[in-house]
Chain A
């Protein structure tokens, strides 16, 4: 693939959003994280092909961009389900039973942490403190913070996400 073809792995919309970020920054490379987030927002994750395309668009090497992408836990370099459920395992939630809750969720979804359900509905990940310790244990599904999670509420909580 030529450079221009490669860049056009990305949609016009993605490119426009990335260019808009670049406009605020001193150089193109500085938009790396934003660009990764934008593509992930559209596609759920960042494939190798997308990564190469973003790198070309930003004028940097794929290696350098992947170095940034892999540094962040929330840039997904593998396919994820339609929804990403992240369960806090930091200290307050731990005290409030995050361990048992984690087990319950794994059982409920039938997958281990790091896994994705067969119907591609959920990917389950652990996460650090969500800043809602007073409502521990907590979890987050996509952008929604869910507080005071109990094993009993799992059906209701997960049921809301198709």
Chain B
């Protein structure tokens, strides 16, 4: 710790930081632009000027940039000194010369860091009367709007996009007063993390384009703390609403999970909430097969009949823990199915048992970033759990930071660290079925069938610790070379990380990943093992468990059992013929969000809330249970799935079988399953300092009467929320000192933009003031430190042998493979056409080229051929989960050319999101 004197006050700050970071951590106000807590300092904007004094007697001091100044014990500085304050005001004046002052029509207005800094520096009178430079803007695709005239040349965008996120298609062009930030030509930004530009750019140059199509000022948005439903990472988000419409999603800082950044699936994937495909009314299918809106009570009465017909309940990895719990309770353990497909359920069980076994840490994303050597086995994280890939990109910079440290360059000196390290990267090894979009930072890559990836993994574990079986595994020369490189790198790492997941569908890949981690542990390093499933609550529903597998449930349905299917399109889970048979033989109650093939067969259909319209819990890849809160009340007859179930339970048994509100359900759920569920977020009677509730709406929320004046000018009383500590109004306080799980938006006096998040943190970039929310449900076994106790998987699979028939392996697309986000219109525009990856030799053998169509038994449709450089001969990588694509079973199939194939254009044929 160091003691520094700022304007006569003493502060205890951390050493090794820059001054800007340090004073902001003390909650002091000091304007800045180019510095970013996750990206360090470059000293480009000259906004953070302070006066630094040489010693106690120095009265003049000298001007310096806080972000470029090391914290030194005993130093004395001034933020308030007139020379510094004048300088900062002049900087703004100069930046404003070319700024168009178009705040009233700017999407950033009202949450603009430039506005805030302008006000903070006191530059309130415009003197410049000259002509402003003007630019043509670019069409950057469906996600990001572009208005270059607003640029203040802080360079944050390119530093984020290129340096931090590894994008290549955004650059700074020109020099001096003619700087242009954009692409070399119009076209969609290719990075899967482009949306963060919206929050990184301190002005309105890069803005959220879908949001702009139905724009609302920040102060008019209603928000609540929430969790992204897009994948198993569980990034924390603020979804925001007005007029019953989901307007946008922004990053909600979490010190251990997503930090400051989201992926584009998460940011732009929630517009399914406003989709035409929404199921909005309860309905019943009459004898003649015609479906009719029936009103809720009739539908419930009808649903009760089904439940009493010995119904099976099929839950879902995309429904909340609580909804699954409610359904399980309604039908009973032995008649509940988690809703996971058989293979995915088996993989998840395995992954959870490995995690329970212990022996390696389960890393948060912060831990991923801290790894000093990484092996990715099989999982294409960029497409299955995207935010992990962005964390991996930071981890490979460990080497750069080590080099910098040795050279005496502080880690926050971004340009210094990068310049010194040049191309130096820490070891990252990728063994995968096909090329990935993080290959560019890999030390070596290796392609193989899932079982061969498992074999390479086994050989690596064996190489680290010979007690792991693999002695007889023969590998190709390339495989052996890869193996040796990996063994050397992981063996000498202090914090090695193994990443895998259920994406390849092969349990041996998971086993091999566990073996490598355990072998490293036995050698005395501190390995982490990350095993990711595919969906937001996969681990949650698996931890809940059920007595029926998907096959069992489908068999029961085919045998005539009724079924309650909750938030689950069964066609994505099981063999299409079996699902069809089950759906046509069974009377089904379907509770869901969007119309889908399963819902078409429903006897009773009930409209379910999305994650933004209800409160619940998802359990992420770390088994971190995270609570999301209802942002707004849904229209029409839409209600949370658990509430429908509660009403059905009440109708069945009037003695109070249902739950009065989500708190009652959470409490029961916590008692029956994991106690932590009751404590990961504050209960409804929680109050902040002064005894007030927390508002979902900023205090400037306007137009409460006007927005429904066409109906009545008598404003109705805001709904009293008896479920959460939040108000559906602007009343209450959001100070940031409350429980970290209960921050509905960030705002602080003088800080209207998202930069205000530091006012909600214990220190800049650290935990939230009220603690980072969530709790791990699976704690590794207590004796996990003793690696000799760890199970070893000693069966090594056989090598893959290519035959005439092709081995089908699933591949994933960030934009398209997720069931809900693939109905979000901006995502649809970036979605590839259904594709199949082939090796160039195989394509030749089949007589096809890229762009041709192929089909085969079990594929259901024709797929567009893409040639992949890595996929081995004899395999076809078939994209998983695009709209209209049913579950595709693994196995070998004969492929045939579809001569009539017409390429169904994806959103943007030029940019296939999976590379």
Contact = CB atoms under 8 A, between A and B. Distances in A.
Contact of A63 (B174, B175, B184, B423): B184
Interface stretch (A11-19, A65-73, A87-95, A117-125): A65-73
A61 B173 contact: no
Interface string B154-195: 000000001000001111111100001001110000000000
Interface residues on B, range: 10 to 19
Among A60, A61, A63, A66, the one with the most B-chain Cβ atoms within 10 Å of its Cβ is A63
A63 B422 contact: no
A78 to B, nearest CB: 13
Interface string B220-256: 0000000000000000000000000000000000000
Given A26-B422, A27-B423, A66-B184, A61 B168 contact: yes
A48 B184 CA distance: 9
Contacts of B174: 70-71
A67 B423 contact: no
A70 B170 contact: no
A72 B175 CA distance: 8
Contacts of A64: 162, 168, 171
Interface string A23-52: 000110000000000000000000010010
A70 B169 contact: no
Nearest to A71: B175
A61 B169 contact: yes
Contacts of B185: 48
Among B171, B180, B185, the one with the most A-chain Cβ atoms within 10 Å of its Cβ is B171
Nearest to B162: A64
A73 B423 CA distance: 28
Contacts of B172: 67
A62 B183 CA distance: 9
Contacts of B423: 27
Interface string B823-867: 000000000000000000000000000000000000000000000
A48 B186 CA distance: 13
B518 to A, nearest CB: 38
Contacts of B171: 61, 63-64, 66-67
Contacts of A27: 423
A5 B173 CA distance: 27
Interface residues of A, number: 15
Given A26-B422, A27-B423, A62-B184, A67 B169 contact: no
A67 B173 contact: yes
A38 B173 CA distance: 21
Contacts of B168: 60-61, 63-64
B421 to A, nearest CB: 13
Contacts of A51: 184
Nearest to A26: B422
A64 B161 CA distance: 12
Given A62-B184, A63-B168, A64-B168, A70 B173 contact: yes
Nearest to B169: A63
A66 B173 contact: yes
Contacts of B183: 63
A62 B422 CA distance: 20
Nearest to B422: A26
A157 to B, nearest CB: 29
A111 B175 CA distance: 25
Contacts of A73: 175
Among B173, B180, B184, B423, the one with the most A-chain Cβ atoms within 10 Å of its Cβ is B184
Nearest to A69: B173
Interface string B266-307: 000000000000000000000000000000000000000000
A64 B166 CA distance: 12
B379 to A, nearest CB: 26
A71 B158 CA distance: 15
A62 B423 CA distance: 19
A73 B173 CA distance: 12
A73 B180 CA distance: 15
A153 B850 CA distance: 63
Contacts of A71: 173-175
Nearest to B423: A27
Contacts of A60: 168
A106 B500 CA distance: 67
A26 B422 CA distance: 10
A62 B168 CA distance: 8
Nearest to B183: A63
Contacts of B180: 70
Contacts of A62: 184
B419 to A, nearest CB: 13
Among B162, B172, B180, B423, the one with the most A-chain Cβ atoms within 10 Å of its Cβ is B172
A64 B167 CA distance: 10
Contacts of A67: 171-173
A26 B171 CA distance: 23
29 contacts: A26-B422, A27-B423, A48-B184, A48-B185, A51-B184, A61-B168, A61-B169, A61-B171, A62-B184, A63-B169, A63-B170, A63-B171, A63-B183, A64-B162, A64-B168, A64-B171, A66-B171, A66-B173, A66-B184, A67-B171, A67-B172, A67-B173, A70-B174, A70-B175, A70-B180, A71-B173, A71-B175, A72-B175, A73-B175
Given A26-B422, A61-B171, 8 more contacts: A27-B423, A51-B184, A61-B168, A63-B171, A63-B183, A66-B171, A70-B173, A73-B175
Interface of B: 162, 168-175, 180, 183-185, 422-423
Interface of A: 26-27, 48, 51, 60-64, 66-67, 70-73
The 5 A-B pairs at the shortest CB distance, nearest first, are namely A61-B168, A67-B171, A63-B171, A70-B173, A66-B184
